[in-house]
Amino acid sequence: MPLQPSGTLHSSRPMRKHFLIVGAGFSGATLARELVEGLDCQVTVIDERPHLGGNCHSQRDPATGVMVHVYGPHIFHTDREEVWNYVNRFDRFQPFINRIKASTSRGIFTLPINLHTINQFFQKRLNPEQAREFLKTLSDSSIGEPKNFEEHALKFLGRELYEGFLYGYTVKQWGCEPRELPASILKRLPLRFNYDDNYYLGAFQGIPTNGYTAVMEKMLDHPRVQVRVSTRFDRGMEGEFDHTFYSGPLDGYFDYSQGRLGYRTVTFERIEAEGDYQGNPIINYPDLRDPFTRIHEHKHFTPWESHQRTVGFKEYSKETGAGDVPYYPKRLEGDRKLLEEYQQLAREVQGVSFVGRLGTYRYMDMHQVIGEALDLARSFVMNCR
């Protein structure tokens, strides 16, 4: 994989097909690998950042030696064995269970909300069936089909759990009242009536031994893949290639001609200390009195390593402005209307596939991004033969 800085791309098209991939994250890396393994083609991957990995980029912290998830924590989880086997081709994914805690004014609790959380929060000794019945007494029975995040929480959790764990965190994370958000966001958060504190239910869960960037370096390590970092995309490049796969922001591709789609982004405040700072990888802070949403301590993401010093980050959420890294598509009502306009423009573009979280303006985890890229690449290869 020739990893090169920015520069002129290609002035003439080679005889074999040549594809451009915009973005060197998991979507772009998967597409590149599958295309060169499935076709006699050349692939050029560009990324405007000076590194591979997109928002999954990881690197050794020079002060502590800890492997840091530079853009926030990433825990790989999937039920799709094919995807799990695929990523393990490029590095061994060590078993890792994500157990999150929440720091509230009433104490430290286990997330996701489960039987332990319920019993501890209400100082009870309920069994699973009793807990189900108990929550029914707390729920707002006047709500039929929930129309938004808040109604969904009040219907299934009741006001005390909602305000204790979700309201403040959601306001800080999304920058708006929860009733402005779709109910589907809460549906992604599990509720359990047992003592299982594994945040994810995927059959396969882990973190790569050498970090996520090392995985993508190996995915892109192929003689017919060329990678150029610190290279901004412009649409004039497309004429030099047979097809373009674009994983950047959908609205950015069209120069924000219809307006900007809403995203939240995050910033970090570094914490460095001796030993162990908080005793857990992630602790959420749902109280509005805490301006940050959570603290993540990265040595706990690699329990197979040993470090004397530790590094963590307070995470703050804010609206995404020009120059910010977009993280989470908001998909409010105005965004959905604007998205339809951009999707119509995208359908009119020839020779370009819009891929990944940003290119399709959807919230997707790593395994979903990789799975879709695998499916798209294989379909594209079949059509090219």
What residues act catalytically?
Answer: 188, 192, 264, 294, 315, 363, 365
Q: How far is CA 336 from CA 18, 113, 183, 304, in A?
A: 34, 30, 15, 43
Backbone angles phi, psi at 344, to 5 degrees: -65, -40
Secondary structure (H, E, C), 145-214? CCCCHHHHHHHHCCHHHHHHHHHHHHHHHHCCCHHHCCCHHHHCCCCCCCCCCCCCCCCEEEEECCCHHH
Note whether 311 and 297 are within 8 A (CB): yes
Whether the link from the prior residue into 112 is cis, omega within 30° of 0, is yes
- For residue 320, what are its two tokens? 């995404």
Q: Rounded distance, CA 239 to CA 230, Å?
A: 20
What angle, 0 to 180 degrees and rounded to 10, lies between the N-to-C axes of helices 81-88 and 366-384?
A: 90
CB 182 within 8 A of CB 331: yes
Q: Give the separation between CA 224 and CA 207, rounded to whole angstroms.
A: 28
Residue 328: how many other CB atoms lie within 10 Å: 17
